Structure 1
Amino acid sequence: MHTPVNHPARPIYRAIGGLAGLYLVLFGVLGIITCAGNDVLAQDDTRVLGQGTNLGFSLVSVLLGILVLAGTLLGRNIDVMINQWLSYLLMAVGLAGLAFLRTEANIFNFSIPTVIVIMVLGLVLLLVGMYGKVGTDEERDAWQKARLVL
């Protein structure tokens, strides 16, 4: 009951979520173009927008970006659910990428800038997911009352 319902800045947060999805798609497409001809999980010095990547992570980025954009276009709290779950996924992937950075387990060819961008995108999607919820007037009033009690 602590998540805001019908927040006044909801359209702005929704647009920010769309921009995060657009960034993921752009990064993925540029990565696919740059990594064309390489192995899917190559561990080399390929950089796109200053971030380490390979064909596998570029494809994953495109899929996640399309999912975020689809949720943003659909709305109706579907975007809230997608943004929140993908934010948790991105932060887990970012932490795993940081843990495996200089090992053979770095299958997505992460670098420090990649980890930073993934973590920031995860936090942005979490913010967007928490403030983009749409509800009825009764749900909004219940949230207001719960907020005032705290």
Structure 2
Amino acid sequence: MNVFMPDPVVPEAQSPDRPIDTGAWFPAIDPTLFRAEHRVSDSVTSERVRQALIAAAIGVFRDLADWSRARRADGAASLAQVATDLPEIDGESALILLYRRAVSTAAKAELIERYRDMDITGAGQRGAELLDPTIGELRRDSTFAIRDIKNVGRCAVELI
């Protein structure tokens, strides 16, 4: 008696390096490009990079929620279709470039917080406390990119 036992169909695992779909309105985020642009070492797993990028995208979504809702109400079907005085740069909408910058700098700041030694080279063994200004600068860059998208000033001054 012969018995046929088919191999179970195992779904192919999705690569953690695949682009992160951030919905129809905002552009996808490419973890591979993020790694290259921000010099994220291989000691940081792809899953951690993905997690940091997703968390950063959520934060940027929240910061841009009212602004993007107003742009959609004006008829823009995506961030790329939002009318702006900014020129296209390197063939892409400046707003998309700013969005990617906001997400990537926030994600890099989070990774540095989690992996305090990931930016430290063998030749330049610095203390972890020296990375704190870098984290602040990355968060500032993310905030500046968001404010540039909204076309509002970069700083708020309060009179005492």
Q: Identify whether the pair has TM-score above 0.5, normalized to the shorter chain.
A: no
- In our comparison, the structure showing a higher alpha carbon Rg is 2
Bigger share in helix: 1
TM-score, scaled to structure 1: 0.27
Q: TM-score, normalised by structure 2?
A: 0.26
Structure number with greater CO (CA < 8 Å, separation at least 6) is 1
